[in-house]
């Protein structure tokens, strides 16, 4: 196993030249992370599958956090052997270049405030990126129910003017459907929409909202 101190940080975005930890050995051979390079001349892809995997991961991680599963999938598409994939990803996890818990926490924060997604939709997105269920549960639990409801109200307030002039049941269907697509539970969506319409002075028949158009 490569020693932790020998694994590099990702290169700055747009940086050229060799990887930051490349060292020249006598005879012009380069060694990265304690491994001599046995591949083609400088500028070509490394022949060693571990070095190839490291190079790909460093490139993918430059400016864009990714999960372990995302990186593993990218390496498999490049036909890198599973043994090399596991070795590189294990080492990257050891030094903190891959951290699914940090990724999930940042994803929840960004997607909730940026797109208004609720816990259910956030959990679905994280699952598709290969994050473990326990990690997802911990990340979405940081989103308080009060925060979720406040965001739902803001989404409805922003969309409400575009529905004016439509029959009340149709307005309800559109607004509740919008919240459902963002992962909000039906009960919360109905309550938030009903209250928004009632503030406009509209009488709301809760049994009429789901009548087909």
pLDDT average per 10 residues of sequence, the chain (213 residues):
44 40 39 42 69 94 92 96 96 95 96 95 97 97 94 96 91 94 95 92 64 46
Any domain includes 186: yes
**Given CA atoms 191, 192, 198, 202 in this order, what sign does their dihedral have?**
negative
Same domain, 114 and 170: no
Same domain, 132 and 113: yes
Any domain includes 174: yes
Same domain, 21 and 52: yes
Any domain includes 212: no
Same domain, 105 and 70: no
- Asked if residues 32 and 19 have their Cβ atoms less than 8 Å apart, the reply is yes
Any domain includes 209: no
Same domain, 35 and 87: yes
Any domain includes 88: yes
Residue 112, pLDDT score:
96
Q: Which residue from 37, 103, 119, 36 is spatially nearest to 71, judged by alpha carbons?
A: 103
Whether pTM exceeds 0.75? no
Residue 56, pLDDT score:
95
Range of the domain at 123: 100-141
Any domain includes 208: no
Any domain includes 56: yes
Residue 45, pLDDT score:
59
Please give the tally of structural domains in the chain. 3
Any domain includes 204: no
- Asked if residues 55 and 119 have their Cβ atoms less than 8 Å apart, the reply is no
Residue 5, pLDDT score:
38
Same domain, 16 and 89: yes
- Asked if residues 149 and 182 have their Cβ atoms less than 8 Å apart, the reply is no
Same domain, 149 and 195: yes
Residue 34, pLDDT score:
44
**Joined tokens for residue 84:** 């090399």
């Amino acid at each position: 196993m490569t020693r932790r101190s020998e694994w590099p940080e990702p290169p700055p975005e747009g940086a050229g030249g060799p990887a930051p930890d490349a060292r020249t050995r006598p005879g012009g051979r380069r060694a990265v992370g304690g491994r001599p390079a046995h591949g083609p001349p400088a500028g070509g892809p490394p022949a060693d599958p571990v070095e190839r995997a490291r190079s790909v991961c460093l490139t993918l991680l430059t400016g864009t956090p990714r999960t372990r599963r995302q990186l593993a999938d990218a390496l498999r598409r490049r036909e890198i052997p599973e043994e090399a994939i596991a070795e590189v990803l294990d080492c990257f996890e050891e030094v903190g270049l891959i951290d699914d818990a940090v990724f999930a926490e940042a994803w929840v924060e960004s997607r909730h405030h940026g797109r208004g997604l609720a816990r259910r939709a956030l959990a679905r997105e994280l699952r598709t990126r290969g994050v473990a269920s326990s990690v997802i549960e911990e990340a979405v639990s940081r989103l308080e129910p009060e925060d979720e409801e406040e965001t739902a109200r803001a989404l409805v307030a922003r969309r409400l003017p575009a529905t004016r002039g439509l029959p009340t049941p149709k307005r309800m269907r559109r607004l509740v459907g919008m919240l459902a697509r963002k992962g909000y539970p039906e009960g919360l969506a109905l309550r938030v929409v009903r209250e928004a319409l009632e503030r406009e002075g509209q009488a709301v028949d809760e049994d009429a909202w789901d009548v087909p158009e």
